[in-house]
Structure 1
């Protein structure tokens, strides 16, 4: 396997340094994912930009965004992102039963949130080739057509991080270690 450098602010390309400095300010450290992405300023900027759009320009609340992210993380087998997003959800006070369902790939008790989880799963597994019934199930749960398209934004966001972690074999940060997750532990 090719070794990818875990860049520091000092070792990163000049065009990646501002992005890593921002990560340091936001998180108090440079997450290893960002340190890996710093090898490609375009990737790091794309990841940060789409993440910001997903967080600030969609009508989804924090729990709904995390449902989309975690569903993709689990289906893509991204151990790094499962641990990191579990920590993020805990800091956002997402209910523990929702977090556990997302980590295990089991139904969420709240029917509306479960409809979103199932829809995000179908978008991932079917690569966007949805049937009318898939969309109707989401709409019947109380979401709108905007949500259908915003799930695609969240899916694209996670492809960037999940695939980077697979290619670079990103080591888990100490900050996320308590929420370590293994792909073979998922129930589906």
Structure 2
């Protein structure tokens, strides 16, 4: 497979530099995912836009957003994103039992959060071809039709990063190494 460049602010395409600079300023470094995505300024911009929309414009809590993201990361076998989002969840003080369940693909003790995890799983596995009962279960747990649509948004967000990482074989950043995860541990639901 061709090797993908980890672009820097100095050597990245001009149209990607502003995103790389913003990342450097926000995190103190450019995460390898963004460094790879910089190859395509359009992909980098789309990822940043969808990520921001998912984080800022849904009615989901940070924990609920991570449930959707991590469920997709696990099902798509994205080792980079599993480690990165584990670190994000730890920083956001998501309960450890929720983090463990998401990494292992096991049940979350909170029934409402578990309903969201199961729904996100079905959206991914069924590629959106859901049955009424799938949607009804999410609604019965206290979510809304907006949540149905927000899960689709979160799934699309993760396709951008998960597929990029698969193709580019994005190396894990040092800061995420303590949360390394292997797709070999994937538990089929």
**Structure 1 length-normalised TM:** 0.99
2:43 pairs with 1:40: no
1:186 is displaced (CA, Å) by 2.4
What residue in structure 1 maps to residue 83 of structure 2?
83
1:187 is displaced (CA, Å) by 2.2
SS of the counterpart of 1:100?
A: helix
What residue in structure 1 maps to residue 121 of structure 2?
121
The separation in 2 between residues aligned to 1:166 and 1:19, in whole angstroms, is: 22
The separation in 2 between residues aligned to 1:165 and 1:144, in whole angstroms, is: 32
Deviations 1:56-114 (A, max 9, x none): 00000000000000000000000000000000000000000000000000000000000
The separation in 1 between residues aligned to 2:186 and 2:85, in whole angstroms, is: 15
What residue in structure 1 maps to residue 181 of structure 2?
181
Contact 2:75/2:186 (CA < 8 Å) preserved in 1?
no
Q: Which runs of 5+ in 1 are unaligned?
A: none
The separation in 1 between residues aligned to 2:100 and 2:81, in whole angstroms, is: 15
What residue in structure 2 maps to residue 153 of structure 1?
153
**Structure 2 length-normalised TM:** 0.99
- The alignment of Structure 1 onto Structure 2 pairs a total of residues equal to 188
1:135 is displaced (CA, Å) by 0.1
What residue in structure 2 maps to residue 143 of structure 1?
143
Runs of 4+ in 1 over 3 A off after TM superposition: none
What residue in structure 1 maps to residue 163 of structure 2?
163
1:27 is displaced (CA, Å) by 1.4
RMSD (Å) for aligned C-alpha atoms: 0.5
Deviations 1:41-66 (A, max 9, x none): 00000000000000000000000000
